[in-house]
Amino acid sequence: MRRAFAVISFVACAVLTAATMLPAAADSPAADTSPLSAAAAAAAAALMPNITVVPIAVCPSLPAAEVTLQFTSNPPLEFHNKSSVELGTVHIDTTFSHTRNETFTVGGLMQSKFAPKYSSSFNIVTFEEVPQICIALKSLEIVVNYAPEIYVASEFMPGTCRYRTTLQHEVRHVNTDIITFNEYLPQLKQATQEAANAMTTIGPIDEGQEMQAQDKLVATISEALVKKVREIEQVRFNRQQMIDTRAEYLRSSKLCEGQP
């Protein structure tokens, strides 16, 4: 995480004052200078508390953070080291119905991996009189990287019809992910920026809590991003399900009928 700080100095104090009210006499006698009166005055002075200036840290209003969101994707990694039986043990989100007389085996699958990275900077307010700070998010750059993995059953040798058709099928899944994420990228940007706009300055806190506060601020934006992604996940699932259908599997099988 890159941490760039804009440091602002701010001092605020609360000053306490007091006044002593003495009753006014109708006929003011001459001042009593006797030893007894002097001792009484000294005792009264000793009972009066010392009034000191107590510094109080107050966080100023800081501007909302600017959030940028970028989507990047890697070419899919291809693996050919698992058999159809092994691939069949992997949980697959999509499903399809078929008749009892039909048997389908898993010839390939695609796994999606989304990895967000955060680069943040903060506004930090320090105080001259107390070891406390106020902290607010200044900017946050989010880069979501998409790294898909494609598995083709080891029974399908590279260059054969079944290998090619299986690979093409899985690439359709990859392209669907990329299209969907790019389509909804503006909504993701809006959700993260709205979360930043709603955030308030943290503090005053002890200087030793700075890193903890930074993590909390970034986590707030991350939670908004994850929440929005979950809303979009249903759209993504529906689109992926349209690829994994009985009709599509029958079509792919017929393309390679009688071929390895």
User: What pLDDT score does 50 carry?
Assistant: 52
- Please tell me the distance from the alpha carbon of residue 216 to that of residue 175, in angstroms, as a whole number: 35
In a domain, 45, yes or no: no
SS3 content of the chain, % helix, strand, coil (to 5): 40, 25, 35
Choose among 120, 129, 114, 86: nearest CA to 230. 114
In a domain, 48, yes or no: no
CB proximity list for 253: less than 8 A, separation 6 or greater:
none
pLDDT tens series, the chain, 260 aa: 444 333 332 222 333 333 333 333 344 444 454 544 555 545 544 554 554 444 567 899 899 999 999 999 999 999 999 999 999 999 988 887 777 777 788 999 999 999 999 999 999 999 988 999 999 999 999 999 999 999 999 999 999 999 999 999 999 999 999 999 999 999 999 999 999 999 999 999 999 999 999 999 999 999 999 999 999 999 999 999 999 999 999 998 899 988 76
- CB atoms closer than 10 angstroms to residue 15: 9
Query: Can you read off the two tokens belonging to residue 69?
Result: 């969101």
In a domain, 201, yes or no: yes
In a domain, 73, yes or no: yes
Domain of residue 251, residue span: 63-121+131-255
pTM assigned to the model: 0.74
User: What pLDDT score does 96 carry?
Assistant: 75
- CB atoms closer than 10 angstroms to residue 150: 20
134: which strand partners? 125
- Please tell me the distance from the alpha carbon of residue 136 to that of residue 199, in angstroms, as a whole number: 8
In a domain, 49, yes or no: no
In a domain, 47, yes or no: no
Q: In total, how many domains does the chain have?
A: 1
In a domain, 11, yes or no: no
In a domain, 227, yes or no: yes
- Please tell me the distance from the alpha carbon of residue 59 to that of residue 71, in angstroms, as a whole number: 35
Query: Can you read off the two tokens belonging to residue 146?
Result: 């998409």
